[in-house]
């Protein structure tokens, strides 16, 4: 009774909410009471569809908006996922809608569903009121649930349709599947029923996350379904570690068949969608494939190319860290480091051993220092009083500069010369004694001015071995041609010639001198003249 009362009042409240203007919702007013009643009514309506909800009815007295919302949320979450499945299923196969009507949900429910769907659609515009969102979601969840149930049944029906050729009274694929499932359940120790329930739970959990996205309902439903199935499998495996099965690597047989069924459904639908005939000829099938390929390629051409195909690409033009994913080929200028293998080490060791035996070490040798210039005669600091006067010092210096030959040798030079002379003498004597073949004394060439002076007069230090007569060059002794004629040998012409040259010379000499004398006299006379003036 109370429920019926709530029902009627709730319906009235909904009607009222529908009729009110949207701005009224923005300001706090009595419309909140109406909204509460309406939400209670809806909650009660949805209660049968959601067996898990802890609340029998929506508690609104004394609760604030947040708490009411929480209650609705708890109820609506599971419903939403099921609603989504249903909606997707309906979207794929519109004729299924008719079938769902015949399901054991009751006409009242259907009406309510219709009403609620309508309400949901109407209230979709009002985003200000949180309760409206809850209602929408509630509707969606219910729709999903219905869809899911319908899908399962549809699968069963499809199975029956497809496998007419294979199946007969003895063999049914459905029975086969059931048998396999039982076997699996026995192996893994999980109840078949619980296994079925788990995917649902997983589905619902996943759908909770994507609740807010209303656009991608279909895709999410598929994904949820697959994820749910995967999760079921994963849970089995994690429970039974080490028992790797075929299903682990190639997917479960149940899942496979389910997916196959889905594909079959898809192809069927595609075929139906395009041509309307169930059987296509091979040619037509090939044409279809070609067409799809062409579409694919055209699409690829139109789309912007992948960054790897774009030629020169800088870091800014490609996504972050994308170069890591691509296998890039570089030109390496450096030789790769040698791989150290046993053979390499063996060869090295052999070389080392042979080198040690040979004693051929490539030691670093000190670079030979360049031959330094011979140190100049460093004049030692003489501490003693110099014996020469300053004048003599400068005199010597001057003489050395101007006329090196006349300069008397310095003290050190003299000593050196004396020493070298003594040594040469000694060497000469020793050679004379030791050698079988006597070698004459060596000629020592010296750069010195040779005057045409008798040997006795010269006191210059001369090498003992050389006679003074040989010091002068022959030209220095006598200059002239080889043909010398004595006085008696000359011919008449030659005598005349000789006299003529003599006279010529004499005349030239005598001509110079008188000119000189004349000059002197003139100057002196002129000077005397000037002096007097």
Partner 1 sequence: MADSTQMEVETATKPAAPLPTKPIFKPLKAHEMSDGKVQFRKIPVPPNRYTPLKKAWLDIYTPVYDQMKVDIRMNLKARKVELKTRHDTPDVSNLQKSADFVHAFMLGFDIPDAVALLRMDELYVESFEIKDVKTLKGEHLSRAIGRLSGKGGKTKFAIENSTKTRIVIADTRIHILGAFTNIKVARSSLCSLIMGSPAGKVYSKLRNVSARLAE
Binding-site ranges for partner 1 (CB under 8 A): 376, 378-379, 381-386, 388-395, 397, 523, 526-527, 530
Closest to partner 1 by CB, 175 vs 397, is: 397
Closest to partner 1 by CB, 209 vs 413, is: 413
Closest to partner 1 by CB, 384 vs 434, is: 384
Q: Which two tokens stand for residue 416?
A: 């050196």
Closest to partner 1 by CB, 284 vs 392, is: 392
Q: How far is the CB of 498 from partner 1 (least distance, A)?
A: 43
Q: How far is the CB of 429 from partner 1 (least distance, A)?
A: 39
Q: How far is the CB of 349 from partner 1 (least distance, A)?
A: 59
Task: Provide the 10 A C-beta neighbour count for residue 43.
Answer: 27
Strand residue runs (E) in 139-268? none
Closest to partner 1 by CB, 339 vs 381, is: 381
Backbone angles phi and psi of 500, in degrees to 5: -65, -45
Strand residue runs (E) in 257-357? none
Q: How far is the CB of 430 from partner 1 (least distance, A)?
A: 39
Q: How far is the CB of 527 from partner 1 (least distance, A)?
A: 8
Gap between the Cα atoms of 439 and 431, Å rounded: 8
Q: How far is the CB of 515 from partner 1 (least distance, A)?
A: 17
Token look-up 């069924």 returns 261
Helix spans in 330-434 (H): 342-358, 390-402, 411-434
Q: Running DSSP on this structure, what letter comes out for residue 304?
A: P
Q: Which two tokens stand for residue 373?
A: 């210039």
Counting DSSP H helices and E strands in the chain, the numbers are: 19, 0
Residues 6+ apart with CB under 8 A from 441: 428, 463, 464, 465, 466
Gap between the Cα atoms of 17 and 46, Å rounded: 19
Gap between the Cα atoms of 230 and 236, Å rounded: 10
Token look-up 């030109």 returns 331
Q: How far is the CB of 517 from partner 1 (least distance, A)?
A: 17
Q: How far is the CB of 411 from partner 1 (least distance, A)?
A: 12
Q: How far is the CB of 396 from partner 1 (least distance, A)?
A: 10
Closest to partner 1 by CB, 386 vs 532, is: 386
Task: Provide the 10 A C-beta neighbour count for residue 252.
Answer: 21
DSSP letters along 220-285, please?
HHHHHHHHHHHHHHHHHHHHSTT---HHHHH--HHHHHHHHHHHHHHHHHHHHHHTS-S---HHHH
Closest to partner 1 by CB, 376 vs 483, is: 376
Give the torsion sign (CA, 44, 46, 47, 48): positive
Closest to partner 1 by CB, 234 vs 377, is: 377
Closest to partner 1 by CB, 448 vs 525, is: 525
Gap between the Cα atoms of 411 and 425, Å rounded: 21
């Amino acid at each position: 009774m109370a429920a019926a009362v709530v029902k009627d009042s709730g319906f009235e409240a909904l009607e009222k909410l529908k009729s009110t203007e949207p701005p009224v919702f923005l300001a706090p007013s009595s419309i909140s009471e109406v909204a509460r009643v309406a939400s209670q009514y809806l909650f009660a309506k949805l209660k049968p569809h959601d067996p898990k909800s802890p609340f029998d009815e929506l508690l609104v007295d004394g609760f604030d908006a947040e708490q009411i919302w929480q209650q609705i949320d708890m109820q609506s979450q599971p419903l939403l996922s099921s609603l989504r499945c249903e909606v997707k299923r309906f979207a794929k196969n519109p004729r299924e809608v008719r079938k769902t009507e015949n399901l054991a949900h009751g006409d009242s429910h259907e009406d309510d569903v219709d009403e609620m769907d309508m309400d949901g659609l109407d209230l979709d515009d009002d985003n200000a009121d949180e309760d409206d969102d809850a209602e929408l979601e509630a509707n969606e969840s219910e729709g999903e649930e219905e869809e899911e149930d319908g899908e399962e049944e549809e699968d069963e029906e499809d199975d029956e349709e497809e496998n007419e050729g294979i199946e007969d009274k003895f063999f049914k694929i459905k029975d086969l599947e059931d048998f396999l499932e039982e076997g699996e359940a026995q192996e893994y120790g999980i109840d078949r029923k619980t296994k079925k329930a788990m995917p649902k739970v997983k589905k619902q959990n996943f759908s909770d996350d994507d609740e807010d996205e209303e656009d991608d309902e279909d895709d999410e439903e598929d994904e949820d379904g697959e994820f749910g199935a995967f999760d079921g499998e994963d849970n089995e495996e994690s429970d039974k570690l080490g028992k790797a099965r075929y299903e682990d690597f190639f997917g479960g047989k149940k899942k496979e068949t389910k997916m196959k069924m889905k594909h079959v459904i898809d192809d069927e639908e595609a075929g139906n969608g395009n041509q309307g005939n169930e059987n296509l000829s091979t040619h037509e099938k090939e044409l279809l494939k070609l067409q799809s390929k062409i579409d694919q390629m055209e699409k690829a051409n139109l789309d912007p190319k992948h960054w790897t195909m774009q030629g020169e690409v800088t870091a800014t033009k490609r996504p972050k860290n994308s170069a890591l994913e691509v296998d890039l080929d570089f030109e390496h200028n450096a030789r790769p480091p040698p791989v150290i293998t046993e053979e390499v080490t063996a060869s090295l060791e052999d070389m080392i051993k042979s080198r040690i035996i040979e004693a051929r070490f490539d030691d670093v040798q000190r670079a030979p220092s360049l031959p330094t210039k011979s140190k100049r005669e460093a004049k030692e600091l003489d501490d003693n009083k110099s014996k020469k006067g300053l004048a003599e010092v400068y005199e010597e210096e001057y003489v050395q500069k101007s006329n090196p030959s006349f300069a008397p040798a310095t003290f050190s030079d003299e000593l050196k010369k004396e020493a070298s002379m003594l040594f040469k003498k000694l060497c000469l004597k020793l050679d004379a004694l030791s050698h079988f073949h006597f070698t004459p004394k060596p000629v020592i060439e010296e750069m010195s001015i040779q005057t045409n002076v008798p040997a006795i007069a010269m006191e210059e230090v001369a090498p003992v071995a050389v006679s003074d007569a040989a010091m002068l060059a022959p030209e220095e002794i006598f200059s002239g041609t080889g043909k010398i004629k004595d006085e008696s040998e000359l011919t008449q012409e030659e005598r005349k010639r000789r006299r003529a040259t003599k006279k010529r010379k004499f005349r030239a000499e005598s001509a110079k001198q008188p000119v000189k004398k004349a000059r002197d006299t003139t100057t002196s006379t002129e000077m005397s003249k000037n002096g007097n003036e």
